[in-house]
Structure 1
Amino acid sequence: MKDLKWSEGELGRKSGVPQPTIHRILTGVSASPRHNNVEKIAKALGVTSEWLWKGSDTAERFQMASSGARDEGYTAGLVPLISWEQAANWVGHPAPEPFQEPEAWLPCPVPHSATTFALRVRGLSMFNPRERRSFQDGDVIFVDPARLPEHASFVIAKLGNSQEATFRQLVVEGERHFLKPVNDSWPDPILELTEHARICGVAVCKVEIF
């Protein structure tokens, strides 16, 4: 609702679930909402009912409502958790030989393309306690190469001859594109994307690891 800037009333109109019922669910008064109502709310929000049941402290989605998540070719299922080295050269699964087995296969909480992969966040360059959307060391992000990178997207990029991918927020200023860390205190400056850089995918969801 926050991502879509919907009120309880708007969600009620979109889903067909009465606003008082939505209010009781959101405030915890209705601890065991009807499955049919959850399905309607999930459909209106463009997420799975399973994701809603798990709660927002488990998974956070990014841009799914406005990025064509319901387009043909998008599905749900397991995706490989790969290394940052693999991500820099990822062209879809199965990857070209030699292909290293992924660390694990993880269920992606949101619809995604067949080329989607997962990464484990390293370091604190993308963590900022003042930002609603930030990433701690150890969080798992799901990255979809089929998503169109837009201003403010969180992207995985390969810079020049680097052997590893990097994780940053995309800033678009006219024809120029920049990558910036979310951490205001991070020593690395904002970088301008050059013709030698390549965006490998857009982060569509994260799962916090406790």
Structure 2
Amino acid sequence: MKKRTLPDALANECALLKALYVAKRKEMNLTQSDLADALGVSQAAVSHYLNGENPLNTRVAAIFAQKLGVPVQAFSPRLARQIEQSAAAANLGAGLSNDANIQYVGQPRLSFSYPFLSWVAAGSWAEANEPYPPGFSDRYELSDYEAKGAAFWLEVKGDSMTSLSGMSIPEGMLILVDTEEEARHGKLVVAKLTDSNEATFKKLVEDGGQRFLKPLNPAYPMMAINGNCKIIGVVVRALMKL
């Protein structure tokens, strides 16, 4: 798989952050493992941020800045402005709450933009566009979810995740996939066969030490994971476009 590339502005933020990390890691006695613990992600994810493979977000930038002892402005004026705007809204709310005639209704919810990349089959393994290609698309969708790593939208094809009761993800819905969210029992995941360009969307279940991909539609069988596939990411949001 080819290495992903970020837009220049986002890649430059990562490059500045990496330069700061290299310059200050000895002084701060800081390792990538320390950063991973602080961020709650894998060490590989930290490397992806520093090497410009994953874009920075406000949470990640704030934690990096705190650990390095620098302002976010030093590597990302863009994210520094977003953090300042959020803080200003929170301070405004604190001030208004003291006025009996005016009540603050909460900090505005931030929106995050993620690329729409492809489609994924909710059924048997199906040939699909690479669900995690290099670069970004010309289409983006917003979400209130702040991803832990690189994230993207996919469109669901097929009906194996359509259920008559409980959770149902019918054909045509968009799903947001976070590549750094932990894939554990009960999570909805996108998986890809290791020896081909075939992908599927299923629920991950564990039973007796064995992992399975389970459809929400009972008419479809479960699929055992026997080292023949890779979990691309966890589905964290679903969106129906009207």
Q: Given the two structures, how large is their TM-score scaled by the length of structure 2?
A: 0.50
Checking the alignment, whether the CA contact within 8 Å between 2:185 and 2:206 is kept in structure 1 is yes
Is 1:198 matched with 2:198?
Answer: no
Q: 1:147 to 1:114 in 2, by over 3 A?
A: closer
How many equivalent residue pairs?
Answer: 132
Is 1:161 matched with 2:229?
Answer: no
| Aligned counterpart in structure 2 of residue 37 of structure 1, from 105, 120, 143 | 105
Q: 1:103 to 1:194 in 2, by over 3 A?
A: farther
Q: 1:164 offset after TM fit, Å?
A: 2.6
Instruction: Return the structure number with greater helix share.
Output: 2
Is 1:105 matched with 2:137?
Answer: no
Q: What whole-Å deviation, never above 9, does each CA across 1:95-143 have from its counterpart, x for those lacking one?
A: 44xx5x5251111221113410110111111010212x21111111100
Where does the alignment leave 5 or more consecutive residues of structure 2 unmatched?
1-101, 120-128
For 1:178-197, what aligned pairs fall within 5 Å after superposition? Answer: 178-186=212-220, 189-197=221-229
| Aligned counterpart in structure 2 of residue 49 of structure 1, from 95, 109, 115 | 109
2:124 corresponds to: none
Checking the alignment, whether the CA contact within 8 Å between 1:109 and 1:205 is kept in structure 2 is no
| Aligned counterpart in structure 2 of residue 117 of structure 1, from 152, 162, 165 | 152
- Whole-angstrom distance in 2 between the partners of 1:120 and 1:176: 28
Identity %: 29
- Whole-angstrom distance in 2 between the partners of 1:35 and 1:160: 55
- Whole-angstrom distance in 1 between the partners of 2:219 and 2:230: 25
Checking the alignment, whether the CA contact within 8 Å between 2:173 and 2:238 is kept in structure 1 is yes
Q: What whole-Å deviation, never above 9, does each CA across 1:127-171 have from its counterpart, x for those lacking one?
A: 10212x211111111000100011110000012433132100000
Q: 1:49 offset after TM fit, Å?
A: 3.4
- Whole-angstrom distance in 2 between the partners of 1:35 and 1:197: 52
Larger Cα Rg: Structure 1 or Structure 2? 2
1:86 corresponds to: 130
| Aligned counterpart in structure 1 of residue 170 of structure 2, from 136, 142, 146 | 136
Of stretches 78-87 and 137-146 in structure 1, the one that deviates more from structure 2 is 78-87
Q: What whole-Å deviation, never above 9, does each CA across 1:38-71 have from its counterpart, x for those lacking one?
A: 44xxxxxxxx736xxxxxxxxxxxxxxxxxxxxx
Q: 1:185 offset after TM fit, Å?
A: 1.8
- Whole-angstrom distance in 2 between the partners of 1:80 and 1:35: 37
Moved over 2 A (4+): 34-39, 159-162
Q: Kindly report the root-mean-square deviation, in angstroms, between the aligned alpha carbons of the 2 structures.
A: 2.2
Q: Given the two structures, how large is their TM-score scaled by the length of structure 1?
A: 0.56
2:73 corresponds to: none
1:67 corresponds to: none
Q: What whole-Å deviation, never above 9, does each CA across 1:152-193 have from its counterpart, x for those lacking one?
A: 10000012433132100000124211001101123xx21111
